[in-house]
Amino acid sequence: MAILITEAQNRAREKSMWENEFSKNKDKYRPETLSLNLGYEAKLSEGSVKVPIFMTSTFEFESAEHGKRFFEYAYGLKKRGVKEDPGLIYSRINNPNLQIFEERIAAWDGTEKGAVFSSGMSAITTTILALCQPGDVIMASSPVYGGSYYFFTHILPKFGIEVASYVSADDTASKMEKDLVGKYKDKVKMIFLETPANPSNVLVDIESMAKLKKHKSDLIIAVDNTFLGPVFQKPKDFGADLIIYSATKFIGGHSDLIAGVVTGSEKLMESVSGYRTILGSMANPFTGWMLLRSLETLSIRMERQAKNALEIAKLLKSHKNVTSVTYPGLLEDGDSQKEIFDKQCSGFGAVISFDVKGGEKEAFKVLDNLKIFRLAVSLGGTESLAEHPMRMTHSDVPPEHLDIIGVHESTLRLSVGIEHIEDLKEDLDNALSLIG
Ligand SMILES: Cc1ncc(COP(=O)(O)O)c(C=O)c1O
């Protein structure tokens, strides 16, 4: 593929950067439209309607002066004027495929800046290492994804950073508040929330946590928005400062890539992106390009998956061999979780957690007999998946803690895809009928 950006085009690039209809009028368009248009000019890449892959490690400077200037901006040695081109330097620092995706995902979240990472875990780890230091405390909702739990309990303590976990419940905000002004006074740097949580789907009230900033104005509210965002949940509207994703899941959406995302204010993202450059935890250009493709269909995929998931959750709820189901679409009036859902979410998502009658043996039997639901970890892809959290994704979490967060030997997690709903229902019903 020839991508010729000539000197004339390069000059046009500097000019057009600030004249692009979508960059100029970002507020006028909705994310579904911006996902296909923001941050890219076809005329600068041979008229290619789709963003080409900029598969390069390094970029040629127009002059030595340009190179000097770009590095000064990149390392914060000089402030860049609003209309000055930050320049392309080296793909660990910046690359068009990453930058275009970052603009588009930040538009979805309604935030100023985005950064794309090599995985959801590198997004989480880089963010925390960038913003916390020895002596700091992070208050975290519980449960969280098994990898995040591992990082919190086995790695951060080595760096002198303590993570205090609060099992998500109605009184989580008041428990956090008590410790914020008492036991951990002046030490809490960040509140890390995962909502809905993996695997139990429990919701945390983002707004009530953000209100705790009244005790400490520099408190950072970070939300892992993997399960519902950015289509069905916009944490920034409820006071979140940083929004984090495993883009491996719904954003990537086809189970063919590993990536992560963080979006937030220009100020916080400067630190996060700076650490990403030094830790080298950025995504590669090909992954950036794949994510651009995926973002175009994000809302239609998530809507179809949520529609299918609601049907599946209803089937499970009425099944004789299922003892309980947790899915936002089944919440009932009067339940405090429903109040949180109604306030901060606009769709149910596609992850369902449920318990079969019996224990591990019965749960495994269901997994081994599913034909359409693939027996695999991960979630958010177009295909339906099923797994056993206790023995797979959350196998490092101590048994007593698993019990508190509602993960048992009988618990299974489903990620519902876009297949025909009748086929999915039949598959699940067949596997479930073999137990009990
Ligand atoms: C909620 C959540 N956050 C973060 C991660 C980590 O993402 P990745 O596997 O892309 O590193 C996962 C992975 O399953 C997850 O479910």
pLDDT for 338: 97
Pocket test for ligand 1, best of 152, 245, 246 (most atoms within 8 A of CB): 246
pLDDT for 1: 34
Question: Is the pLDDT assigned to residue 47 strictly greater than 50?
Answer: yes
- How far, in Å, CA of 246 to CA of 45, rounded? 30
For range 123-137, the mean pLDDT: 98
253: pLDDT confidence band, cut at 50, 70 and 90? very high
More confident residue, 127 or 167: 127
> How many angstroms does the Cα of residue 71 sit away from the middle of ligand 1?
33
Pocket test for ligand 1, best of 126, 198, 261 (most atoms within 8 A of CB): 198
For tokens 């339940």, name the residue.
335
Identify the CATH number of the domain defined by range 96-296.
Answer: 3.40.640.10
Rounded to two decimals, the pTM is 0.94
Tell me which of 17-21, 246-250, 352-356, 357-361 is least confident: 17-21
For range 347-376, the mean pLDDT: 98
List all residues whose CB is within 6 A of at least one atom of ligand 1: 119-121, 145, 147-148, 194, 198, 224, 226, 246, 248, 258, 260
More confident residue, 52 or 73: 52
> How many angstroms does the Cα of residue 435 sit away from the middle of ligand 1?
31
pLDDT for 252: 98
14: pLDDT confidence band, cut at 50, 70 and 90? low
Give the residue extent of every domain in the chain. Answer: 7-74, 96-296, 298-433
CB-count burial class (<10 Å; 0-12, 13-18, 19+) for 375 = middle
What is the architecture, at CATH level 2, of domain 298-433? Alpha-Beta Complex (3.90)
For range 113-141, the mean pLDDT: 98
> How many angstroms does the Cα of residue 159 sit away from the middle of ligand 1?
22
Question: Is the pLDDT assigned to residue 416 strictly greater than 60?
Answer: yes
For range 83-97, the mean pLDDT: 90
> How many angstroms does the Cα of residue 120 sit away from the middle of ligand 1?
5
Question: Is the pLDDT assigned to residue 191 strictly greater than 90?
Answer: yes
Atom of ligand 1 at shortest range from CA of 122? 11
Average pLDDT, the chain: 93
Q: Whose CA is nearest to atom 10 of ligand 1?
A: 120
Q: Whose CA is nearest to atom 16 of ligand 1?
A: 145
Sheet architecture: strand order including 351-356 = 322-326, 351-356, 411-415, 385-387, 374-375
Question: Is the pLDDT assigned to residue 152 strictly greater than 60?
Answer: yes
16: pLDDT confidence band, cut at 50, 70 and 90? very low
For range 351-362, the mean pLDDT: 97
305: pLDDT confidence band, cut at 50, 70 and 90? very high
Q: Whose CA is nearest to atom 6 of ligand 1?
A: 120
Q: Rg of the chain over CA atoms, in angstroms?
A: 23
